[in-house]
Structure 1
């Protein structure tokens, strides 16, 4: 084992500046025995590192190699398995447990003892040794093989030093001189012993020769010891002196700590006082402004605004813990609450008075408009009230009930004011439309109770916009402007029977201008009021809800009314107020539309175009605004009147009766449709609702065709009337007016050539007025073809039932009809 230890030291540990202090030959427990060596080593450099190194032979077996190493500080436990019986097994607990079997119990004990000594000397963290004999954990190591392996004791570990190069050279030179050093070790040892004795004698003689120097050295040591005693005495006296100084310094230090603590407390107290003074102190000027500030002058309003903001800032300051217990703080909070309540009352009363006074001034200016079709401007009122916008915001954040009360007061007042203005405005518009008053006559001088317009238009009021008055009174209203005005029921028949000058285009143009002026006046009025409401009542953002009125699931404890606007989003609140203020606009507009439709049903064309344009403009500004919503509702009524106008024209065409004596020619409503198309194209040029006109064209042209076909329809209508009266179908031919000879005359008057010519003329008229982009011509033409064929089949069936066996048929067939329609469409 000594030779192995020497070889390992030389080949493995010396190159790494390490010393080998303990070694044991082991193999892993429970596996095939593959021997290796566990080595306990220390480094030669400081700080000393202690390791357990696993060394094994190479695969060829010609040299040793280092396989694994563990730091001894990572070792937590050494388990020797049995402290009383010999057992070569032991465990080392590093990051995991390694189980080993030593080649002998003695080697195991020697290695464990070496580990214990290294642990005691170099490590602060002591390793736990389990099942280890107490004899192994002593400073000395038993003699024998273990002594030779691990060294004598802990001092031996430190005294061990390998030979340097010079010492090795000297030993080699000595062995070369004594050739028998290797062959005769005993003779060599005796020689070395004799030489050692000679050297020891020389050393003793040298020591005896230096006795005098030794005595001198001892004397110097005695003097040094005496000097040390003297110094120690002085140090003791100094220590006693410093002890009193230490006590004094301790007292001073304690006093300094108390002074520093007092200073810190004073600083904190000063900070708290400054905080309360800076954030909870309202200046006398602000208090005076809140109590006595002039709310009617610009400077006074500005002072009140600054004071109210300062008060709100003081009331909303975030107090630090404990501040609310201070009497001064409680007094200040009470003062702030009293100032807030008093100023809120004073501000509310003043704004109520402002609403009343401004309304009085506004009402007094209405007389100047008289018969002018203009709505009063409220910009001065808005400008004056907007000076209080910041105060309204303050009131909104501090006194919600008073804020909502002012909203209600403003809306109630403005509702009455606007209702009066809008009513007068629409009465002027109706007078101008009907011509019941001369332009120079002042509207203010008209007695309301005696006004003919008042009497005749009262029946027009109502949200539905329908006429509820008597027919006679409305007819009177429609024609009272001039004796030359056309009948109230304008139609294509009337247009066909009149010349262009008889159409009274000036009246329609006048109506169009009046209706446009009405919408143009209403639009800026509504937008200005909505903008003012948003700014004055600070509804640009969501209302702040807090305190006892917090929203829970969208509902508060008190019932939802018009004024509990804090539940509503901003746009809903504004819309609610606008609906209340301008509730009369929709009613008056519907009444005006009904009046215009009664005067001339074709006015619905003008109104549809104008109203559509204003709706489109309002939606571009704000799709959710009151103006956009209201005009959109009224547009529905206008569109309904337009559809009713078209339906009325179709019905009148269906009810046209043509005398049998009438000669062949163009029917009146055909010419009327042509002139209607010219009028409609003028009105709907570049209009947003062009599609509505195109759809109306389809219906009208179909009606023109269906009611303008060859007059045979009148003959067959008479046949159907006789059958309906109870005459049997086979007996109709015995009726004088509907015998077979009369049937042949009717059919002869309308040969296929004439039918095709009439269809061609109708196609030209349709093509002239229909919009090409929408392909309406093809749709109408195909519809006319289907209707024509359907009517033809009906006539053929009627002839077969009422004139059986007569052999009488139409001059053309269904195939001829298809050819007529196809050739006409291709030729154009």
Structure 2
């Protein structure tokens, strides 16, 4: 290490007029094998500068280079990591923290001790040494390193001195004259010793040979001694004179020191006074604004805001140690406190008056909104109050008690104001809803669900026709004749060209618009008030946090602010949820189908509110109301199912399209129009499944109980109606039920046709049957007499045997709602039997020319003529 120290002194520090005092071999913490040296140096020129220099080997490794230098006065902290255990690590805190690991603990301790002594000797600013052993700070630096530090002269010569050029040249000449100078150092040294002895002897002989010169020299020395004595006497006198001068100079130096100290103290005192004046002096204009400023004008509010901010800065100034003990500072702080209390009281009183005044202004305009389905716009009120937002923030930071008082007063007053407005608003909505209902009801005297039903029925065999209308009641099943249905339907259509069903649709559409308008008016009102509360009361504000500093309290403050906003909104709009529930109950009472509209509208508004803020007052309130709407919707479905189950048939009446089948069609058509692209489609699909299953069960129940109308007729008419409804509406979740309805309709249609038509060619069927048995017993041939006998059994289509039964069958069918499709199916069945008997005749009487007296075209014409005659 000594060789490295000499090399560094020679190559780096001597050219820069610096002396190397201590050195330590280090590497950066966490980065091994990249060693460098930290050097403590002082300059040889005054004033002395003390530095810590980082020296590193060059990339080629053949010389050292100066990399970084820090002034010791910039060093703030020396951290030795551990004052007890040996630890090579230490930190130096300059502009940033540098972490080092020394090659040995001894080197680290020596270096830290040197830094401590340099600090004690040269610096006024004291460096903080932490985790350093106390005895280490009292040790002296090793010899050679502390000659200038421990109190010696800064210009003292180091133990190492360089050879000058002549000395180097002489040594080189001497070494060239001796061959063993390099290869054998001991021989070379022994040779030099012998030559030195020879030279010493020669010198002694030369001196002894020059005795005369010696005597002369001794005489000269005596004279020199005398002169020295005289000089010493003069020096003694001079010393006495200098001693007097020294005392005078010491006095002057002490006086200068006191003057310098006084000047320093005066400068510091002036700095402290300037600090207090600059930071704790409130301008007269600000004081006047706080005491007398106009809080009703924009200019006065701005002046008061600036004055309040200036006052807050003065009160929050970070005083230096000892300032709080000054009487003037205490007086100024008390004055600031009085100003703050006075202005806070004046501000709170003014804002309370503003709340009351604004409320009176709004109450005067409330009457004009009482007949309109609109809510009063509070934007002007909010706009005027937001001018005081910065003052509210100031009040929150300086006098939280008054801030809380203003908050409570605002909630109390606004809750009463909003309660009046919202109740009046909902009263108008209820009047419009009930008025719309009464307006519709005066055109129709039938119950809500009584309506003219129009349906197109398509035959599965390819024919189709328009079916007549039917009217059904909720409470009683009464199947009427076609004439009665026509007259009743026409009477409804004559009432202003509008059916009862059309009146229901008009009422529901108007209710839907009113309900949507109610929600559309409430939503911006609540959002605007919530936004105003957040801005005016500064509930979501928090202090800025320096970059890179983690503070878990920020999110907590935000949550606390949101909670307070929600609590204020609940207090202010406490009547919203009850009024909405009352309106929903009224709508459900007017028409249970209104729950469909309300479910869709409320779901959409809840979804919109949750996208903005899931935890907001609006989102929570609408979510609670949505639960009530969903319960009403479920109750509506349950009531529909119960009505199906409670249907009773009259023993004397015929059964047509059942009322709950028509009602399901009405419900499905209405629901599909309402739930188009709705968020709550899944709720409707579940309701569909429950309703359709109940429809299926109760259709079969009524069909089984019917006495006047055949079971197959009830089943095929109603299931065909259900199938047509599902095919028209294309409800994806009811595809399986649509197929089931089609199958039931087809099966019961076929069963009824076969039952009703029977065997119109019964006699021919018996004859051919007997002939077939006979042919099977005696062979295929038959006599002519038998053929003639058979001809007697071939009926005529226009004869009484075939015509009268068909007329009777049609008379029965014509009374049914579904007669066209059934009549067409019977025609097809008759043709099928005709073709069957033609095949039997051709087989039993081949070549005989026996045929039916009528053709398929005659059958078609005959069926058509019967239908047209009725």
Class of the TM-score when normalised by the shorter of the 2 chains: 0.5 to 0.7
Query: What does 1:127-138 correspond to in 2, within 5 Å?
Result: none
Q: Is contact 1:489–1:598 with CA below 8 Å preserved after alignment?
A: no
Q: Which residue of 1 aligns with 2:471?
A: 497
Question: Could you tell me how far apart the structure 2 residues matched to 1:209 and 1:591 are?
Answer: 143
Paired with 1:422 and 1:489, the residues of 2 have a C-alpha distance of 31
TM-score, length-scaled by structure 2: 0.53
- Residue aligning to 1:527: 527
Aligned pairs (5 A) from 1:419-568: 419-435=419-435, 479=438, 482-485=441-444, 490=449, 497=471, 501-503=499-501, 504=503, 505-541=505-541
**Cα distance between partner residues in 2 of 1:592 and 1:491:** 26
Superposed CA RMSD: 3.9
Deviation at 1:608, TM superposition (A): 0.8
* Alpha-carbon separation, structure 2, partners of 1:570 and 1:782: 59
Cα deviation digits, residues 430-476 of structure 1 (max 9, x gap): 2222227xxxxxxxxxxxxxxxxxxxxxxxxxxxxxxxxxxxxxxxx
Distance 1:252 1:781, change over 3 A: farther
2-structure distance, mates of 1:206, 1:379: 122
Q: Aligned equivalents of 2:291 and 2:717: distance in 1? A: 94
- In the alignment, the residues of structure 2 paired with residue 344 and residue 703 of structure 1 have an alpha-carbon distance, to the nearest angstrom, of 71
| Contact 1:488–1:601 (Cα < 8 Å) also in 2 | no
Decide whether aligned partners of structure 1 residues 287 and 711 sit closer, same or farther in structure 2, where only a CA change above 3 A counts. closer
Q: Is the 8 A contact 1:533 1:574 kept in 2?
A: yes
Residues 751-762 of structure 1 mapped to structure 2, 5 A cutoff: 762=722
Pairwise CA distance, 1:249: 1.3
Q: Post-superposition shift, 1:531?
A: 0.5
Deviations 1:783-810 (A, max 9, x none): 9999xxxxxxxxxxxxxxxxxxxxxxxx
Q: Aligned partners of 2:194 and 2:313: how far apart in 1?
A: 95
CA 1:616 to 1:754, structure 2 compared with 1: closer, same or farther past 3 Å?
closer
Runs of 5+ unmatched residues, structure 1: 1-94, 96-122, 125-159, 172-199, 437-477, 545-564, 716-741, 787-828
The answer for the alignment partner of 1:225 in structure 2 is: 225
Task: Label 1:370 to 1:162 Cα distance change in 2 as closer, same or farther (>3 A).
Answer: closer
Native 8 Å contact 1:710 1:750 kept in 2: no
- In structure 2, relative to structure 1, the CA distance for the partners of 1:205 and 1:712 (3 Å cut) is closer
Q: Which residue of structure 2 lines up, in the alignment, with residue 610 of structure 1?
A: 601
Select 1:569's aligned residue among 550, 560, 574. Answer: 560
SS of the residue corresponding to residue 708 of structure 1 reads helix
The match for 1:624 is: 615
Report the equivalent of 1:806: none
2:253 is equivalent to residue 253 of structure 1 = yes
Q: Determine the C-alpha separation between the residues in 2 that align with 1:203 and 1:256.
A: 59
* Alignment-derived partner of residue 448 in structure 1: none
Structure 1 residue 698: deviation in Å? 0.4
1:93-150, Cα deviation, whole Å (9 max, x unpaired): xx9xxxxxxxxxxxxxxxxxxxxxxxxxxx99xxxxxxxxxxxxxxxxxxxxxxxxxx
Deviation at 1:507?
Answer: 1.8
Residue of structure 1 in register with 2:692 after alignment: 701
The answer on whether the counterparts of 1:542 and 1:569 sit within 8 Å (CA) in structure 2 is: no
* Pair 167,611 (structure 1): closer, same or farther in 2 beyond 3 Å: closer
Q: Which structure's CA Rg is the greater one?
A: 1
Compute the displacement of 1:271 (Å).
2.0
CA shift for structure 1 position 220? 3.1
Separation in 1, partners of 2:557, 2:446: 55
- Tell me, yes or no, if the aligned pair for 1:389 and 1:536 is still in contact at 8 Å: yes
Residues 1:276 and 1:780: Cα distance change in structure 2 (over 3 Å): farther
Aligned mates of 1:353, 1:206 — CA distance in 2? 122
- Tell me by how many angstroms 1:571 deviates: 1.3
Q: Give 1:343-354 correspondences, 5 Å limit.
A: 343-354=343-354
Match of 1:272 in 2: 272
The residue that corresponds to 1:263 in the other structure is 263
Pair 1:777-2:735 in alignment: yes
Bigger mean CA deviation after superposition, 620-629 or 322-331: 322-331
Distance 1:489-1:578 versus aligned 2 partners, 3 A rule: farther
Structure 1 residues 415 and 204, CA gap change in structure 2 (3 angstroms): closer
Give the distance between the partners of 2:684 and 2:434, measured in 1 at CA.
27
Q: Cα distance 1:632–1:332, how it changes in 2: closer, same or farther (>3 A)?
A: same
Cα distance per residue 1:391-439 (max 9 Å; x no partner): 1111112222221111111111111111111111112112222227xxx
Matches of 2:389 and 2:206 in 1, distance apart? 118
CA distance in 2, matches of 1:512, 1:307: 54
Please state if 1:164 is matched with 2:191.
Answer: yes
Cα distance in 1 for partners of 2:400, 2:345 equals 12
1:769 and 1:613 map into 2 onto residues whose CA distance is 23
Q: Tell me if structure 2 keeps the 8 A contact 1:375–1:421.
A: yes
Question: What per-residue deviation string (whole Å, max 9, x for no partner) do you get for residues 69-107 of structure 1?
Answer: xxxxxxxxxxxxxxxxxxxxxxxxxx9xxxxxxxxxxxx
Asked whether the equivalents of residues 492 and 649 of structure 1 are also in contact (C-alpha less than 8 Å), the reply is no
Question: Quick check: 1:605–1:642 contact (8 Å CA) kept in 2?
Answer: yes
Q: Which secondary structure state, in structure 2, belongs to the residue aligned with residue 365 of structure 1?
A: helix
Residues 648 and 543 (structure 1), Cα distance of their counterparts in 2 relative to 1, 3 Å cut: farther
Give CA-to-partner distance per residue, 1:368-393, whole Å, 9 cap, x none.
33422111100000000111111111
Distance apart, 1:491 and its partner CA: 8.2
Relative to structure 1, the CA distance from residue 321 to residue 591 in structure 2 (aligned partners, 3 Å threshold; closer, same or farther) is same
Q: Residues 325-344 of structure 1 correspond to what in structure 2 (within 5 A)?
A: 325-344=325-344
Instruction: Identify the residue that residue 684 of structure 1 maps to in structure 2.
Output: 675
Partner SS state of residue 666, structure 1: coil
1:318 aligns with 2:327: no
CA contact (8 A) 2:373 2:425 kept: yes
Structure 1 window deviating more from structure 2 (281-290 vs 500-509): it is 500-509
Distance of 2:315 and 2:203 partners within structure 1: 103
The offset of 1:630, in angstroms, is 0.9
**Contact 1:543–1:570 under 8 Å retained in 2:** no
1:714 to partner: Cα distance: 2.5
2:279 corresponds to 1:305: no
**Could you say what secondary structure the match of 2:295 adopts?**
coil
- Aligned residues of 1:311 and 1:336 also touching (Cα < 8 A): yes
User: What is the alpha-carbon distance in structure 2 between the residues aligned to residue 570 and residue 213 of structure 1?
Assistant: 110
Structure 2 stretches lacking a partner, 5+ long: 1-105, 107-142, 145-186, 455-469, 473-488, 490-497, 545-555, 745-870
3-state SS of 2:499 partner: helix
Which residue of the partner structure matches residue 357 of structure 1?
A: 357
1:643 corresponds to which of 634, 637, 655? 634
Map 1:726-737 to 2 at 5 A: none
